[in-house]
Structure 1
Amino acid sequence: MCIGVPGQIVALHEQRAGHAWAEVCGLRREVNIALVAEPGQPPDALIGCWVLIHVGFALSRIDEQEAQETLAALHAMEEVEADVTLLLRSGATG
């Protein structure tokens, strides 16, 4: 099973166009933002936005409430599923 993990875009990547840094559970991860960038908007408009991340791609924008609820559910799953702990703590996103 593959799941997406909520993350918040915190900065644009300095050397890779179309990439940004997202914070997920206190860790920064590089993500491709091509799928969530709005035509006509500068990429830095994404800073502060919550996105759903899977295998290094920001797949969709989500609101903060959905992000927090999903993170809470994932943390609750840590109690019973070791793979979720690896997902949240190791820096892997897919």
Structure 2
Amino acid sequence: MCLAIPGKIKSIELQYGGLVRMAKVEFGGIVKEASLDMVPHAKIGDYVLVHVGVAITIVDEEEAEKSFAYLREIGELDELVAGSQIDKPY
């Protein structure tokens, strides 16, 4: 099953010659990169839902925490951890 996972934007940088805004997004201690093309107004500290490496929407912190707790409860976070290449934790 493919899910959008909530995470918090920790940093933003321009990549690919300044054409793409990429973010380091933290998912409960795991940090991965995500494109911000679909949410160009996202900023550091925002919570976003990420699906296959793309932030698809901004959500508030409460909604992100609820979603994350549910994913933890049903065991979907295990898949995220097992399949991730973890960047350095913040």
User: Percent of aligned positions with the same letter in both sequences?
Assistant: 32
Question: What is the count of residue pairs matched by the alignment?
Answer: 80
1:50 is aligned to: 47
Q: CA RMSD in A?
A: 1.7
Q: Which of 18, 21, 25 is the aligned partner of 1:22?
A: 25
Amino acid at match of 2:46: C
For residues 84 and 48 of structure 1, do their structure 2 counterparts lie closer, same or farther at Cα, with a shift above 3 Å needed?
closer
Amino acid at match of 1:85: D
Which whole-Å CA distance do the structure 2 matches of 1:28 and 1:71 have between them?
14
Q: Which has the higher strand share?
A: 2
TM-score (norm 2): 0.79
Q: Which has the higher helix share?
A: 1
Which whole-Å CA distance do the structure 1 matches of 2:30 and 2:2 have between them?
20
Gaps of at least 5 residues in structure 1 are 39-44
TM-score (norm 1): 0.76
Rg: which structure is higher? 1
Gaps of at least 5 residues in structure 2 are 86-90
Q: Which of 59, 64, 67 is the aligned partner of 1:62?
A: 59
1:42 is aligned to: none
Which whole-Å CA distance do the structure 2 matches of 1:48 and 1:62 have between them?
11
Which segments of structure 1 move beyond 2 Å, counting only runs of 4 or more? none
